[in-house]
Structure formats: C-alpha cells, structure tokens
Amino acid sequence: METEKAYKLLAIQERISNSKAKDLIDKGLVRVAGRKVSIARGEIDVRSNFAIKDVNEMRIIFQDNDILALDKPAFLTADEISRKFPDYILLNRLDKETSGVMLFAKNKAFQNRAISEFKKNNVYKEYVAVVEGKFIDDIEIDKPILTIKHSGKARSTIDKKAGKPAKSTVYPMYVEGNKSKVKIVIDTGRTHQIRVHLNSIGFPIIGDATYGKTSPNVQRVLLHSKCTKIFDYIFEAKEPREFRIFGLE
C-alpha cells in the first residue's frame, strides 16, 4: 500500500496549500471513511478520499457599550475568536469543539466587574451535552480537577489532593436508547471540567476523543454553552443541529 502524509495528500486533492491542509486537520474538520483524521503528519493510503466539514458562521447575540456576547461555532478556538475582536477583552473560554455563548468586555472597568462576578461564582453557566448511557437522575459532581499543560495542550484529571475545587450539577433532559441529552450547570470553570466530570460518573460525552466516547456519525464534542447570566444580562445560544443526531429532541 502506497502512503503519504495526510496533510500533503489533502493539499493535493483539495488544491490548497500544505499549511491550509494541516490547519484543517488540526481543527478536526477532516475525515476519511467516517473517521476523523487526527494527525496531520500521519501516513495515510494515497487512495483515501477526504471529507471536510464546514464551520458554522459566528453570530453576535448581543452587544452594548460594555459587553459583546457571541454564539461561537465549533472548531474555532477562543484565541481565533479573540483575534477577530482585538479591541475587546475575552471573559470566558470555550474548548475548540465546544459551541455556544462566549463573552467579551468592551472596556477595562466592565472587565474588572465581570471578573469579580466569575471569581465569586455569581455567573450562571448552563451547558447541554449528549452522553453515552441512560441518564435519569439529577446528580451533583463535586470533584477537584488538576490541569497539566504540555506543549500548548491541556489535559485535566480528577485529583483529590492536588486538584482545584470543581462543581457541576447535571440534570436529565431526554433519553433515547442508550444515549442521553443532559443539562449541566457549573459553579466553577476549570479546564475541561464538564468533560472530565461526566466521564468520571460513567456518562462520557459523545464525540470526545480525549475524555469521552467517539462515534462514527459525530464529528465534534457534543457540548454546547447554552445560557450565561451575568449581572442583569441573559444570553442564550440555540443548540446546533448535530445535537439532534440520536433523536434527542
């Protein structure tokens, strides 16, 4: 079998630059035979046919003189979004494959007030996830999380001794077969908190290759920041259509 590096083969087939091809793979947008291509420099059969997922448009939910609220699409990092608004100050981060409400302060005074609210856990943060398993009872997960960063990537684990406090409350929404849609309200905001917490109780998020469970029909982590409340503001972002893939409506 003749092979070639995935990004080089993609560049040839799509008639794009090597750097563009590598970027598409790194963002998790490229699949072959229904499986995500994870390593741009990995060797792959030259006969492979690539499928590239389109990234949804970013949408402004609301803005005034103090705050900008966005509906972030999956596959864009918080840093990529920030570069689109260089004059504003990022207030909350979402993982690359997580979609939903993302906030920016438009001035330093509002940033300071908002950060104080986050630190005091006065910000309501509601997420929706699709998980493996039949989830039928409310549960509060109070497990400390330790995050280690290496080569620009973060990995979190539950660590009772060295971890920082992390609390998530999970509520059932819908069950279909062995899949469930759940609502999660978090009091803290540790890196990968929801993904780690749900996996720790035996309900891994579908599409999460790091902490959860992959699926041939799912191209992203099925986690969405649905609602954020801060001060007198309430911001909501509609769930993307892929959250209906298992009939969980």
Q: Where are the alpha helices (DSSP H) in 85-156?
A: 108-119
Of 95, 203, 94, 96, the residue nearest 141 (C-alpha): 203
Task: Count the domains in the chain.
Answer: 2
pLDDT at position 165, please? Answer: 93
* Pair (121, 240) in one structural domain: yes
Q: What is the pLDDT of residues 52-111, one digit of tens each?
A: 877 778 899 999 999 999 999 998 889 999 999 999 999 999 999 999 999 999 999 999
CATH of the domain at 186: 3.30.2350.10
Burial classification of residue 47, based on how many CB atoms lie within 10 Å of its CB (0-12 exposed, 13-18 middle, 19 or more buried): exposed
* Pair (123, 69) in one structural domain: yes
With a CB cutoff of 8 Å and minimum separation 6, the contacts of 222 are 129, 130, 205, 206, 207, 208, 242, 243
* Pair (148, 45) in one structural domain: no
Q: Is residue 158 part of a domain?
A: yes
Q: Which of 95, 137, 159, 232 is catalytic?
A: 95
- The 3-state DSSP composition of the chain as helix, strand, coil percent (nearest 5) reads 20, 35, 45
Q: Is residue 249 part of a domain?
A: no
Q: Is residue 235 part of a domain?
A: yes
- Cα 91 to Cα 107: distance, rounded to the nearest angstrom: 11
Helices and strands: H and E segment counts in the chain: 5, 17
Q: pLDDT class for 183, splitting at 50, 70, 90?
A: very high
- Cα 11 to Cα 203: distance, rounded to the nearest angstrom: 38
* Pair (135, 237) in one structural domain: yes
Question: Which residue, 34, 52, 70, sits at the end of a domain?
Answer: 52
Look up 95 and say whether it is catalytic: yes
* Pair (41, 70) in one structural domain: no
pLDDT at residue 248 is higher than 70: no
pLDDT at position 128, please? Answer: 97
Q: What is the pLDDT of residues 76-92, one digit of tens each?
A: 889 999 999 999 999 99
pLDDT at position 245, please? Answer: 79
Q: What is the pLDDT of residues 140-174, one digit of tens each?
A: 999 999 999 877 678 898 999 899 999 999 999 99
CATH of the domain at 43: 3.10.290.10
* Pair (32, 152) in one structural domain: no
* Pair (14, 116) in one structural domain: no
* Pair (107, 177) in one structural domain: yes
* Pair (9, 102) in one structural domain: no
Rg over alpha carbons for the chain, rounded to the nearest Å, is 19
Domain that holds residue 101: 59-244
Q: In terms of C-beta distances under 8 Å and separation of at least 24 residues, what long-range contacts does 48-54 make, across chains too?
A: 48/9, 49/13, 50/9, 50/10, 50/13, 50/14, 52/14, 52/24, 53/29, 53/219
Tokens representing 176 are 């279909």
